[in-house]
Amino acid sequence: MSAVALELDGLAVDFSGFRAVDGVSMAVAHGELRVLLGANGAGKTTLMDLISGKTKSTEGRVYVHGRDVTNQREHKIARAGVGRKFQIPSVFSGLTVRQNLEVAQSGQPGVFANLKMRLDTEAQERLDETLDLIGLTEEAETEAGVLSHGQTQWLELGMLMIQNASVILLDEPTAGMTAGETAKTAEIINRLKGKHTLLVVEHDMAFVRDIAERITVLHLGKVLAEGNVAFIENHPDVKAAYLGKQGIS
């Protein structure tokens, strides 16, 4: 189980002189949940952009299960097994919850492969299980556009599950959630651990303690520290990076 699922090697991007991500190397093991910490503007979202192909890197490489996917087009990287949730939740608002999950089941992404009416029974069952897992069975026929903020986030998590992405990138999955919603999100994420490899950006330390094993701290586009929760919380450089205030709250 120690196989590396996601490996970054000296990854960097230069926005005409400004290096938002500056030589990041890290390896995330298969089934691991890695938390990315860092102050605002540290480069966390940009790092995810580089991995998922939204932004082209200017240096370094990205490997998914040993396969080099550096700077490939987004849908190619997705097909290599990388799934992503954005900072701002995005679902297909005009489709029902069920249809959203159907679309997320993207095992055969070609146009002609999809000129058929429905999913096979097995896929249908998986869809129902996922609905149950994210607690949206009741809302299955509801248009996704009218879901609450929390429900939208869960639907997006459900889409990642059903997409069967082996590497999942989550950018602030609990942003704007109530305490109750956050707890439920932690539960869903903990279920993903083991089966999927996760890279999670999160500010909420209580939540991080709930889900994290290892943490990587980014500062000014570089890796500042890496280790388990206790190690990071007591790391002097990390405390300094968070403006020397009270450390990470």
Partner 1 sequence: MKTLFSSYRVWAYLAFAIVILALPLIGDEFWLNRVAKYLCYGMLGAAVALTWGYAGILNLGQGLFFGIGAYAMAMSLKLKSYTSMQQGSETPVPDFMLWNAEPGAPTDLCCITPGSWLWIPFQSQWVGLIVAVVLPAVFAYIMGRIIFGQRISGVFVSIITLALVLLTRLIVTDAQPLTNGFNGLTDLGWFTVFGVELDPYSKVTYMVVAVALIIVLALTRLLVATRAGTILQATRDSDTRALYLGYDVPAYQSFFFAVSAGISGLAGMLYVIVAEFASPSFLELSFSVTMVVWAAVGGRGSILGACIGAILINMLEARVSETESLVEAWKLIIGFVFVIVVIYLPKGLSGLAHDLMSKLQSAPKLSPVQKEEAHQ
Binding site for Mg ion (CB under 5 A): 45
Neighbours of 117 (CB within 10 A): 4
Asked if residue 40 binds ligand ATP (CB under 6 A), the reply is yes
Minimum distance from residue 122 beta carbon to partner 1 (Å): 15
Task: Extract the tokens encoding 248.
Answer: 């990470």
Partner whose binding site includes residue 109, from Mg ion, ligand ATP, partner 1, none (CB under 5 to 8 Å by kind):
partner 1
Using the minimum distance from each CB to Mg ion, give the nearer residue, 41 or 107. 41
* Residue ranges in contact with partner 1 by CB under 8 A: 52, 54, 74-75, 78-79, 83-84, 86, 90-95, 99-100, 102-104, 106, 109-112, 114-119, 159, 163
Asked if residue 15 binds ligand ATP (CB under 6 A), the reply is yes
Task: Extract the tokens encoding 89.
Answer: 């939740």
Task: Please report the beta strands in 67-213, taking only residues with DSSP state E, as ranges in sequence order.
Answer: 67-68, 82-85, 167-171, 197-201
Asked if residue 41 binds ligand ATP (CB under 6 A), the reply is yes
Partner whose binding site includes residue 15, from ligand ATP, Mg ion, partner 1, none (CB under 5 to 8 Å by kind):
ligand ATP
Partner whose binding site includes residue 41, from ligand ATP, partner 1, Mg ion, none (CB under 5 to 8 Å by kind):
ligand ATP
Minimum distance from residue 70 beta carbon to partner 1 (Å): 17
Using the minimum distance from each CB to Mg ion, give the nearer residue, 21 or 192. 21
Residues composing the chain: 249
Using the minimum distance from each CB to ligand ATP, give the nearer residue, 12 or 42. 42
Partner whose binding site includes residue 111, from partner 1, Mg ion, ligand ATP, none (CB under 5 to 8 Å by kind):
partner 1
Using the minimum distance from each CB to partner 1, give the nearer residue, 119 or 175. 119
Burial grade of 97 (CB within 10 A; 0-12, 13-18, 19 or more) = buried
Task: Extract the tokens encoding 17.
Answer: 């002189």
How far is the CA of 154 from the CAs of 3, 67, 137, 188, in angstroms?
29, 30, 12, 8
Q: What is the 3-state secondary structure (H, E, C) of 182-243?
A: HHHHHHHHHHHECCEEEEEECCCHHHHHHHCCEEEEEECCEEEEEEEHHHHHCCHHHHHHCC
**Segment near ligand ATP (CB under 6 A), from 38-46, 89-97, 187-195, 232-240?**
38-46
Task: Extract the tokens encoding 64.
Answer: 């998914």
Asked if residue 249 binds ligand ATP (CB under 6 A), the reply is no
- Residue pair 226/26 in contact (Cβ under 8 Å)? The answer is yes
Candidate residues 43, 53, 83, 173; the one interacting with ligand ATP per rule CB under 6 A: 43
CA distance 81 to 5: 10
For residue 80, give the amino acid letter: A
Give, rounded to a whole angstrom, the gap between the first and last alpha carbons of the chain: 33
- Which residues lie near ligand ATP (CB under 6 A)? 15, 18, 20, 38, 40-46
